[in-house]
């Protein structure tokens, strides 16, 4: 495109000559075909977002007089992703080297757009696409802000329509993420579901590009994510943004992964995403303190999931305070039942020496999680006297978690360092009956 003010992002242009985009560093080396291949390699579901016949409203008021080409773009992309090889775009996909379909399930219409200009166009897209492809889940958008008139108007309008997901974006200071940990607690359980499609904590940064990805920003995102997980019946998907940035050519930060021509580094924010992704579970368990969700009381945030197929429980605990915290979790209705039974645990601990610590190309491993084993097992090969058998082992001056039976309940005693993300993974018998409630019974401040 010659200028940013012209409508762009017609997906088939990847098969034509590249265009210049003066306010973005783009090589146009990654088209939808490569995007689908990347999603396939990552075992992820692709979610392409298509132009709805509108330019960026911040830069231009331009809209397409004829929506038909843009609707056809969407139909053609679905055919390219899923169509039989006898179809024109299915044949093209096969010719490019991928005869099997990509199994596209989601499609977004428009990005960060608002008011009637957008809603009128979305209605037309929805009616046409649902008629032609009822199997595709459509994603609409709530605009560029996380609150305010445009946001409220979007939700009011879209509730009357039928998007499978409404895309919410929030780029905000770290403190916003702490305040919003309960954001979805009161969302309508019968309304449209949420895709937290773009978010990142924007805090203090230095001259180095990577410095915007501080540990503190990642810590506050983790606190917020406990709220996303606790409300998984409303928030179906989420994604940090942006994903990738070259340290020598960027116009936006923070970014999840930084790279140059030879190296790449994982940011603290990346590790938070990784920690949560590896402990998802299949069901959310209520995690309460004084009968209320733990979402900032005493600077603590928590969520818990159960993987019913493996019998694992994942307790996520985020401490954003400047002091350590000792807590006791009581898992109701779960016990080892006999002295010979054993429960193994793994503690994923993510903390840093400074809130502003970050990983760089020069120091890529400065901030990263550690993984520690604990629990009742003769595999631990430790020899303790009878009087010391309940004395927890230490790591960095903090006791390892300790598991006990209290009546019909399982008790887990933990101490979380100041400024830390912890996941306590308990490996249980998947056949055990579990009352789905975890109670934080006591806290001690150090």
pLDDT in tens, 249-280: 898 999 999 999 999 999 999 999 999 999 99
Q: What is the pLDDT of residue 437?
A: 55
In total, how many domains does the chain have?
2
Percent of the chain with pLDDT over 90: 73
- The CA distance from 197 to 243, in Å, is 12
Provide the token pair at 113: 């757009």
- The CA distance from 132 to 75, in Å, is 8
Of the two residues 98 and 397, the one the predictor is more confident about is 98
Let me know whether 120 and 217 are in one domain: yes
Residue 107 burial class via C-beta count within 10 angstroms: exposed 0-12, middle 13-18, buried 19 and up:
buried
Edge-first strand order for the sheet with 244-246 is: 244-246, 257-259, 264-266
Q: Tokens 């020496």 — which residue?
A: 353
Of the two residues 399 and 118, the one the predictor is more confident about is 118
Confidence of residue 49 (pLDDT cuts 50, 70, 90): very high
Q: What is the pLDDT of residue 404?
A: 84
Let me know whether 209 and 326 are in one domain: no
Q: Tokens 């039976």 — which residue?
A: 405
Let me know whether 192 and 319 are in one domain: no
Domain span at residue 17 reads 11-277
Q: What is the pLDDT of residue 4?
A: 37
Let me know whether 227 and 366 are in one domain: no
pLDDT greater than 50 at residue 338: no
Q: What is the pLDDT of residue 257?
A: 98
The domain boundary, picked from 237, 254, 277, lies at 277
Question: Which residues are tagged catalytic?
Answer: 112
Let me know whether 196 and 56 are in one domain: yes
- Closest alpha carbon to 222 in 119, 350, 136: 350
Let me know whether 255 and 337 are in one domain: no
Let me know whether 325 and 431 are in one domain: yes
Q: Tokens 């911040």 — which residue?
A: 58
Of the two residues 421 and 333, the one the predictor is more confident about is 421
- The CA distance from 403 to 171, in Å, is 39
The domain boundary, picked from 260, 277, 294, lies at 277
Does residue 6 form part of some domain? no
- Closest alpha carbon to 142 in 124, 128, 163: 163
Let me know whether 136 and 247 are in one domain: yes
- Closest alpha carbon to 266 in 196, 354, 366: 366
Query: What are the residues whose beta carbons fall under 8 Å from the beta carbon of 20, sequence distance 6 or more?
Result: 1, 2
Let me know whether 382 and 305 are in one domain: yes
pLDDT digits (tens, 9 = 90+) for 183-211: 999 999 999 999 999 999 999 999 999 99
Q: What is the pLDDT of residue 345?
A: 92
Does residue 127 form part of some domain? yes
Query: How confident is the model over 223-233, as a mean pLDDT?
Result: 98
Does residue 2 form part of some domain? no
């Amino acid at each position: 495109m010659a200028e940013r003010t012209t409508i762009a992002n017609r997906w088939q242009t990847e098969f034509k000559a590249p265009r210049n985009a003066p306010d973005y560093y783009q090589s146009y080396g990654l088209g939808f075909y490569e995007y689908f291949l990347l999603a396939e390699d990552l075992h992820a579901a692709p979610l392409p977002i298509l132009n709805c016949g509108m330019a960026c409203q911040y830069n231009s008021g331009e809209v397409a007089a004829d929506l038909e080409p843009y609707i056809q773009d969407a139909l053609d992309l679905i055919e390219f992703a899923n169509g039989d090889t006898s179809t024109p775009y299915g044949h093209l996909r096969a010719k490019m080297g991928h005869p099997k379909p990509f199994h596209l399930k989601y499609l977004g219409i428009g990005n960060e757009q608002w008011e009637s200009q957008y809603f009128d166009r979305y209605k037309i897209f929805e009616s046409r696409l649902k008629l032609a492809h009822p199997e595709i889940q459509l994603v609409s958008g709530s605009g560029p802000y996380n609150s305010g008139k445009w946001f409220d108007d979007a939700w009011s309008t879209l509730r009357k329509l039928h998007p499978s997901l409404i895309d919410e974006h929030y780029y905000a200071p770290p403190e916003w993420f702490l305040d919003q940990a309960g954001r979805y607690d009161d969302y309508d359980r019968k309304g449209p579901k949420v895709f937290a499609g773009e978010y990142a904590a924007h805090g203090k940064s230095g001259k180095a590009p990577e410095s915007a990805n501080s540990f503190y920003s990642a810590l506050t995102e983790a606190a917020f994510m406990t709220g996303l997980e606790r409300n998984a019946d409303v928030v179906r998907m989420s994604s940090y943004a942006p994903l990738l940035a070259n340290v020598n050519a960027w116009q936006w930060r923070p970014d999840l992964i930084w790279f140059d021509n030879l190296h790449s580094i994982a940011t603290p924010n990346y590790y938070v995403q990784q920690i949560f992704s590896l402990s998802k579970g299949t069901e959310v368990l209520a995690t309460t303190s004084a009968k209320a969700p733990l979402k900032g009381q005493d600077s603590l945030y928590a969520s818990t999931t159960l993987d019913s197929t493996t019998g694992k429980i994942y307790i996520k605990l985020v401490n954003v305070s400047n002091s350590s915290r000792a807590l006791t979790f009581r898992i109701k209705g779960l016990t080892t039942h006999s002295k010979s039974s054993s429960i193994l645990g793994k503690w994923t601990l993510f903390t840093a020496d400074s809130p502003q610590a970050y990983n760089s190309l020069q120091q890529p491993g400065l901030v990263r999680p550690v993984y520690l084993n604990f629990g009742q097992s003769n595999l631990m090969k430790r020899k303790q006297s009878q009087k010391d058998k309940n004395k927890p082992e230490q790591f960095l001056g903090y006791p390892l978690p300790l598991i006990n039976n209290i009546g019909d309940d399982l008790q887990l005693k933990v101490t979380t360092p100041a400024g830390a993300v912890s996941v306590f993974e308990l490996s249980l018998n998947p056949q055990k009956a579990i009352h789905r409630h975890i109670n934080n019974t006591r806290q001690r401040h150090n």
